[in-house]
Amino acid sequence: MFNADDLKNGFVDDLKNVKNEVQLSEFWKKFFSKQGSIQGLMSGIKNVAKEEKKAYGQFVNDVKTWAQELYDNKKAEIEKAALQARYKKEEVDVTVPPVHEPVGCLHPLTTVKYEMINVFAGMGFEIFEGPEIEDDDHNFTRLNVLKDHPSRDMQDTFWLTDDLLLRTHTSPGQIRVMDKEKPPIKVLVPGKVFRSDSDATHSPMFSQLEGLVVDKHITLCDLQGMLDEFVKNMFSDTAKTRLRPSYFPFTEPSVEVDVSCFRCGGKGCSLCKGTGWIEVLGGGVVNKKVLENCGIDPEKYSGLAFGIGIERITMLKYGINHMGKMFENDIEFLKQFKA
């Protein structure tokens, strides 16, 4: 005959060994499923004498209630332990300092180039980019730098063939634009240029921003007005420009442009070498011969042009004392330009 104590003892012993949710589900199958021992108690009723059936039913119900309660307690205990273990695993220490992922930034030359372009874009300039490999015609001849003219020596050229070269300045962009478009013209030509030259303030590769305006009645005053606006935006609200006579074959008259020293305000310091002025660019009124070379009537139109060294402006702005710094990709140097 069936022994209730054996069942109960077995139940209690097995339950003691249940340590996790998997074992709990095994345990449930063993005792509570249709084939389980407790369910089996109920089917035993058919072997019980009629008059005892009621008492037997009551007994089975009591066992069920007893077992269910123990089972529920165990289940709650295991679930709690599982939750605790999960909390432990997912614990976040909010006092640990965050790990900063390194984020890059623009190269100072790029930043300054964009700033320069922005200032001129505000005055209505558009952008044109010419090729880095040029021919003699665009780089020299049509800019009025004739063959055997001594001014060719001003720029130490990297020749590729008798005719092809690495452009020594962005000025050939002027020719390319005037070949394609008729006045009014207002363009910027940014880009890399190349010269066989290397020291603290020169590099065999550097970058320029060329400007060209061609329209009716353009004068040197327009050039100075635009450059005043440029230096105010780039250096300081109180910066001014000063034009000094100079010589470039493609402009007549030609000027060298100085900016009033934005560090000392013009009193004289180490940056301006005591003069109160810093040379920043070259420019002038476009030489009539250059306009003619591009099929533009110099009696009808006039132009202004300028060429600015982007490295030079960057060095002045940030107090960088060696040109090479900008091309070495030294991460410690570059990190300083993070916003």
Q: How far is the CB of 248 from ligand DAH (least distance, A)?
A: 4
Provide the b/e sequence for 228-246 (b: ≥16 CB within 10 Å).
eebbbbbbeeebebebeee
Q: How far is the CB of 282 from ligand DAH (least distance, A)?
A: 3
Residue closer to ligand DAH (CB basis): 38 or 294: 294
Q: How far is the CB of 295 from ligand DAH (least distance, A)?
A: 19
Using N-to-C axis directions, what is the helix angle for 4-17 and 21-32, rounded to 10°?
170
Residue closer to ligand DAH (CB basis): 250 or 262: 250
CA distance 76 to 92: 25
Q: How far is the CB of 158 from ligand DAH (least distance, A)?
A: 14
Q: How far is the CB of 220 from ligand DAH (least distance, A)?
A: 11
Q: Quote the tokens at residue 125.
A: 């300039």
Q: How far is the CB of 261 from ligand DAH (least distance, A)?
A: 22
Residue closer to ligand DAH (CB basis): 157 or 171: 171
Longest CA–CA span in the chain (Å) reads: 134
Residue closer to ligand DAH (CB basis): 67 or 257: 257
R_g of the chain, CA atoms, integer Å: 43
Residue closer to ligand DAH (CB basis): 38 or 165: 165
Let me know if 20 is exposed, middle or buried by CB neighbors in 10 A (0-12, 13-18, 19+).
exposed
Q: How far is the CB of 114 from ligand DAH (least distance, A)?
A: 20
DSSP-derived secondary structure letter, 235? T
Q: How far is CA 216 from CA 173, 183, 219, 228, in A?
A: 21, 8, 9, 21
Residue closer to ligand DAH (CB basis): 257 or 272: 257
Chain-centre distance for alpha carbon 37: 70
Nearest partner of 68 among 2, 11, 6, judged by Cα:
11
Residue 183: phi, psi to the nearest 5? -60, 155
Residue closer to ligand DAH (CB basis): 83 or 127: 127
CA distance 133 to 274: 40
Site residues (CB under 6 A) for ligand DAH? 169, 171, 210, 248, 250-251, 282-284, 305-307
Q: How far is the CB of 208 from ligand DAH (least distance, A)?
A: 6
Q: Quote the tokens at residue 248.
A: 């470039």
Residue nearest to ligand DAH (CB): 307
Give the total residue count for the chain. Answer: 339
CA distance 333 to 339: 14
Residue closer to ligand DAH (CB basis): 60 or 291: 291
